[in-house]
Amino acid sequence: MSIDRRLRLALFGSGRIGQVHARNVAAHPDLELALIADPFIDGARRLAAATGARAVESADEVFAEPGLDGVIIGSPTSTHVGLIEQAVRHGIAALCEKPIDLDLDTALACRERISGTSVPIMLGFNRRFDPAFASVQARVAAGEVGRLEQLTIISRDPAPAPRDYIAGSGGIFRDMTIHDLDMARFFVPDITEVTAVGTNVFSSDIEELGDYDSAVVTLRGRGGEIVTITNSRHCAFGYDQRLEAFGADGALAAGNVTPTTVRKYGAAGTEAAEAYQPFFLERYAQAYQSELAAFATSIRTGAPCSPSFDDGVAALILANAATESAATGRSVAVQPVTAGRD
């Protein structure tokens, strides 16, 4: 492909994740951040000032802008489906943060409405772009550990989100585990059964909301693979994000990340590493950049987006199944997303 001009992008949402995207677009030599839209216009203006963009209040102003190549949807979940559909109607590519929607039917209806389009739509499962996870996946795909048999994912947030956030989050499986469910599908795309156990072990707030603070999900792949996801809403030693891919011929593991390689040796302990990266902004800083680069490549080349809209649907189906399994104490069978779009 020849890069004869910079791609012009707009951003929805000036919150925490919007700021990550805005700065990454601004720093990318081949991308231009034209607009930042947020009804909370002060936030949009501040971020626009810092990144050379223009602040607008409404989505309509964005889609009225001539010459836009893509939008990044970092606004609240309830806006995702509408913005995706508007983007498709305008023939503008979209990178949408997860989840598509908290409601599967809404997501499936959207899928129906945008079926047949060739407009690139990418789901923001940023972890697929983490250099370590991506490297493990690529090496597994290249056969380095033989046939994949077991995948162990440990994923713990440093501290619970605020009570209000959790109240509207759709529950741990749709809000937090969904990233891990997509990671599971990155390695084992075809999941047939979901078994989940949720518990409350440290937060009465979360318990009162009818949600779990800790959970374990076991997935069965069509080939007999087993994926285990261990989640906690808190972690005293930082953002705990690890996985191990176990195959017939060996294993590959991706560990947590420290700022530097420095180790301490003292009377109380030896070889002590630094604290881990505190949360996703630090741990996945490079992943967000690579995700953006992949989105730009899809816009320029028309290559299919990965993760795709259907990956977003599939993760939501698994999250719903986990929610049901945890509630009923039964394993829940799942079907692959039927074709019709990809």
Separation between Cα atoms, residue 50 and residue 54, nearest integer Å: 10
How many CB atoms neighbour CB 182 within 10 A? 25
Q: For the segment 238-257, give every residue that binds a second copy (CB under 8 A).
A: 238, 246-257
* Nearest alpha-carbon partner for 145 in 242, 223, 251, 226: 251
| Nearest-approach distance from CB 264 to a second copy, in angstroms | 6
* Nearest alpha-carbon partner for 75 in 64, 86, 67: 86
* Nearest alpha-carbon partner for 123 in 181, 54, 88, 72: 72
Separation between Cα atoms, residue 128 and residue 264, nearest integer Å: 32
Taking CB under 8 A as the criterion, the residue among 267, 335, 338, 339 binding a second copy is 267
| Residue 285 near a second copy by CB under 8 A | no
| Nearest-approach distance from CB 228 to a second copy, in angstroms | 5
Cβ proximity to a second copy, 167 vs 251, nearer residue: 251
Taking CB under 8 A as the criterion, the residue among 19, 195, 298, 308 binding a second copy is 195
Taking CB under 8 A as the criterion, the residue among 31, 136, 178, 317 binding a second copy is 136
Please state at what angle helix 285-301 crosses helix 131-141, rounded to 10 degrees: 60
Query: What separation in angstroms does the CA of 80 have from each of 27, 141, 159, 279, 292?
Result: 25, 32, 26, 24, 18
User: Residues for the chain: how many in total?
Assistant: 342
| Nearest-approach distance from CB 198 to a second copy, in angstroms | 9
Cβ proximity to a second copy, 163 vs 264, nearer residue: 264
- Spell out, one character per residue from 143 to 182, where the chain touches a second copy: x when CB under 8 A holds, - when not: -xxxx-xx-x-x-x--------------------------
* Nearest alpha-carbon partner for 101 in 123, 127, 130: 123
Q: Which tokens sit at 62? A: 């964005």
CB 253 within 8 A of CB 161: no
The region of 8-16, 57-65, 103-111, 323-331 touching a second copy under the rule CB under 8 A is 323-331
Cβ proximity to a second copy, 59 vs 217, nearer residue: 217
Q: Phi, psi (5° rounding) for residue 183?
A: -60, -40
- Spell out, one character per residue from 196 to 235, where the chain touches a second copy: x when CB under 8 A holds, - when not: -x-xxxx-----------xxx-x-x--xxxx-x-x-x-xx
| Nearest-approach distance from CB 201 to a second copy, in angstroms | 4
* Nearest alpha-carbon partner for 337 in 209, 162, 192: 192
| Nearest-approach distance from CB 18 to a second copy, in angstroms | 19
| Nearest-approach distance from CB 187 to a second copy, in angstroms | 14
Separation between Cα atoms, residue 337 and residue 339, nearest integer Å: 6
Cβ proximity to a second copy, 103 vs 193, nearer residue: 193
| Residue 277 near a second copy by CB under 8 A | no
Taking CB under 8 A as the criterion, the residue among 6, 45, 54, 139 binding a second copy is 139
| Nearest-approach distance from CB 297 to a second copy, in angstroms | 20
Applying CB under 8 A, what is the total number of residues that bind a second copy? 73
State whether residue 185 is helix, strand or coil: helix
| Nearest-approach distance from CB 156 to a second copy, in angstroms | 8
